[in-house]
A and B are shown apart, each in its own frame.
Chain A
Amino acid sequence: MSAWVKGELNFAITLPGGTSDAEGVTDHVPGFPFIVESVKAYFTVAATGTSATRVCNVVRTNVSTDATVATATIALADGDTLGEEKAFTIGGATEFYETSKLSVMFPTAGAVAFTAGVINLCIVYRTRVQEIVGS
């Protein structure tokens, strides 16, 4: 059994205005198998919006089936200071395959609009050493 390699996926995501469904990343295919270990957001633009709150889900799509990798309810107080950390709760669908898609979604349920705010989303994963087929 080979050893593990750790790494990070980083996405800068603007918190959506309004309360509609929104996606910060849609169907990104990293193209290698990995297991998500943690997801954290750091505010790079402070959040505004009276009583703002949005659910943020990291979602894995295998073929056409979505499963939640990690979720957090981001409230105004979580992002009123630059650099502030918001930890996500890891779900059960942490394993990605070569063809799995990764999305970051803001569902409409329970939404109160942000009027500003940008997060750096840090997804720590572990993977194994890869070999390139055919080389």
Chain B
Amino acid sequence: MVKTVPQRVRGGAQPPRTREGPSVAVRAGRWVRRHRVAPYLLLLPSLALVAVLILWPTVQIGTFSFQNYGLDQLVGASPTQWVGFANYWQILHDPEFWLSLKLSVFSAAAMVPLTLVVGTLVGLLLARLGRKMAAFVSSVAMLAWATPAVSASVIFVWLATPDGGVIDWFLTKVPHWLGGGAHWAGFSWVNAALPAYTLATALVVWTSFPFIAVSVLAGLRTIPSELFDSARVDGAGPWQVFWRVTYPVMRPIFQVLFLLSVIWDFGVFTQVYIIIGELGQRDEYNLGIYEYSTAFQTPPAYGLASALAFVLTVILLIITVGYVRASVREGALL
């Protein structure tokens, strides 16, 4: 009785409290504010998912690549053993690895410049078109971008089919001096690496040029027109205007678009998987497909595949570092 009196005085007209004081929610709120943990709490769900489903698997790939992880280890029939660099050693002496790496490098070397050139040209065109026409062309182009990779790949295989495909039909109609002719009738585009990757390149350019074009257009809109005016007054033609004005000003944009294209095109999977007809033709594998088939074709060799995956990841990470540096330098993190 005596003890409660001063409390009542201090509490004044407050409603009677339970012995624990303020509710759990209120106390938690105070704790959050006092220790400034609010941002960390907000980040927690995303961080947990990314950690469990992206970061941890990456670590696992690294671990598996030093183990003899196979079907027996997957089902627990025999224990996982560390094998040191044996998987990497095997890769280095594997002609199929070098072939797949070569195909990845060469196809990216064809896809990236073509995508950038086509995308930039369309972007420059969009900047010169009237408002309505530009909106129409860019919407149509973005439809190609939004077309699912699986659909796009199946469509391109159909366009290139030897029986009834419209590409072979078109090539037979092209005059001889342009490389067309009757010998294109029934030409198979998927049975050898060079034509298959030519088709894949056409497909990748079709899918990804709209994004480049829209980005270039957005960049062009930031250049003050006075720059073009003065260049033209000085007698510069369109070619010179591009290389002397547009390109230097938009260099950071082109740099980022280039790095992004390299990352995407070096790791292209779905399109090639469908064009070469799933995992049938081993001499048409690129690095990603070779790694995937090593993991998921019987007998599965998860350890060896992880070593391949690790090589692929490291190559892409090296390019990513350049991309991140370019982004940070341009203030993307602000």
Q: Do A and B bind each other?
A: no
Q: Which B residues are within 8 Å of any A CB, using their own CB?
A: none
